[in-house]
Structure formats: structure tokens, C-alpha cells
């Protein structure tokens, strides 16, 4: 915008110079001034469009969206690479490699959260393809209803890999409090922006306790695919 404003100022200065000439050149001067102003307006419009396109591209980069297609319906998650860049990069790498396709939500805690990202319908654990990611729970994002966060080992701060969970309610006890293993918290890196009712439906399925997991869905809730929306 500064560039177009400077051009407009130059145009106004030229207009004043032309207006100080002989009366016989008045109409030509007005015509020249109008042409200059028109060029300035056109340049300003082009700059504005380019600026808007640049902001949109930056928004796409910092806040990409993914769609979860499940046997209970679809929902869209907007990620926050501005606050959790390493976590989002890690998650999208799994998305792009289709690691999550055909996995299940393996634990459902009604009214609290649902866990996924690491098991097949046969309850076989998938081997992560990437090293653990740095825990960015200190980023200020809270474990509020509808947010997605990383699963990690309680005894290791930087141990999250492919598994994630969705908060079905506000879970302040999972937020970052301090730098201890227990208090570091669980990194939030996105928010459901469409289809929260699907999460609620998943959170209401019948569950059972098994030797492998507590609160395992009786019937598998399958993630058919996770894809970038944009």
C-alpha cells in the first residue's frame, strides 16, 4: 500500500504543476491528470488484489484444513501451524502418506475425549514412521472442546508420534502448567470447524473394557481417510 500511496502523491504533484500553466493548456492538463489518476487507481487495485492473494496463501500455510471421513460421518479440522509448527508438520506428514487411512478411534471416554491415530480395526498397533516430535504444549492453546491434541507418554515430554485425541469437553487438566513431565501438558494443534456433531456421535458409541484398552468401542469407528482440504 505504501507504493501505491507514493504514486498517488506524485500524481497530485504533477496535477498541481500542470494547473499552474497557461490557460490554453487547461483541458489537456485535466486530461493528463485524469489519466495519471486512473493509472494510480489501477495500480492500487492490482496491489490490493495481490495483497489479498498473499494473505490468503499465508492463511492456507499457517492454518491448513483437513477432512476426516469416518464411518460415523465427516468433520473438518483447521490446524494451527502458527502456534504449533512442528506438530502440524508432523501430523500433515502422516496425513499425506495416508498413514491414518483405515485406522480406528481405539478409546472413547464419553464427554471427555476420543483417541485415534495408531490402531487398525483388528487392534493391531501401527508402527510410526517418524521420530517423536517436540512437545509444543507451551504454545498457549488450551484443551478446549473440539480441539485436537497429541497423545504422548506420561513419562516422556517429547514422545508424541502419530496418535492424537479430540477433546469432547474443556479438559484444563491436560493443559501446560509447568516444565515437569506431569505438568508439561498435551499439545493442542487444531480445532474442529465443521462437523462437531460427528465427534459427539463417536463419543456416544457403546464401549467395553478389554485386556488391551479401557473404553474400547464395541463396534469399530473407522477413519476411512484424512485429507487436506486446501
* pLDDT tens digit sequence for 58-74: 667 899 999 999 999 99
pLDDT classification of 207: cutoffs 50, 70, 90: very high
What residues contact residue 32 under an 8 Å CB cut-off, 6+ apart? 14, 18
What residues contact residue 206 under an 8 Å CB cut-off, 6+ apart? 217, 218, 219
pLDDT classification of 45: cutoffs 50, 70, 90: low
Distance from C-alpha of 228 to C-alpha of 68, rounded to nearest angstrom: 9
pLDDT at position 61 is 82
The more confident residue out of 211 and 10 is 211
List the single range of 12-21, 55-64, 108-117, 170-179 with lowest mean pLDDT. Answer: 12-21
The share of the chain scoring above pLDDT 90, in percent, equals: 72
Residues 27-37 have pLDDT tens digits of 545 556 555 56
Is residue 118 over pLDDT 80? yes
Q: How many residues does the chain have?
A: 230
Residues 143-192 have pLDDT tens digits of 999 999 999 999 999 999 999 999 999 999 999 999 999 899 999 999 99
Mean pLDDT of the chain: 84
Helix (H), strand (E) at residue 33: helix 26-62
pLDDT at position 81 is 98
Amino acid at each position: 500500500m505504501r507504493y501505491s500511496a507514493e504514486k498517488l502523491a506524485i500524481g497530485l504533484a504533477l496535477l498541481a504543476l500542470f494547473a499552474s500553466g497557461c490557460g490554453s493548456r487547461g483541458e489537456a492538463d485535466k486530461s493528463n491528470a485524469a489519466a495519471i489518476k486512473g493509472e494510480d487507481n489501477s495500480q492500487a487495485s492490482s496491489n490490493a488484489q495481490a495483497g489479498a492473494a498473499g494473505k490468503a496463501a499465508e492463511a492456507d500455510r499457517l492454518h491448513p484444513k483437513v477432512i476426516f471421513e469416518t464411518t460415523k460421518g465427516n468433520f473438518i479440522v483447521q490446524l494451527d501451524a502458527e502456534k504449533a509448527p512442528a506438530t502440524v508438520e508432523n501430523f500433515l506428514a502422516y496425513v499425506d502418506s495416508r498413514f491414518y487411512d483405515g485406522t480406528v478411534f481405539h478409546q472413547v471416554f464419553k464427554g471427555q475425549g476420543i483417541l485415534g491415530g495408531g490402531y487398525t480395526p483388528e487392534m493391531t498397533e501401527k508402527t510410526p514412521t517418524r521420530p517423536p516430535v517436540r512437545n509444543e504444549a507451551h504454545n498457549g492453546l488450551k484443551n478446549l472442546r473440539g480441539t485436537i491434541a497429541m497423545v504422548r507418554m506420561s513419562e516422556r515430554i517429547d514422545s508424541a508420534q502419530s496418535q492424537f485425541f479430540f477433546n469432547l469437553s474443556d479438559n484444563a487438566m491436560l493443559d501446560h502448567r509447568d516444565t515437569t513431565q506431569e505438568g508439561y501438558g498435551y499439545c493442542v494443534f487444531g480445532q474442529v470447524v465443521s462437523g462437531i456433531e460427528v465427534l459427539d456421535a463417536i463419543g456416544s458409541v457403546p464401549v467395553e473394557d478389554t485386556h488391551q484398552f479401557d473404553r474400547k468401542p464395541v463396534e469399530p469407528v473407522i477413519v476411512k481417510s484424512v485429507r487436506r482440504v486446501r
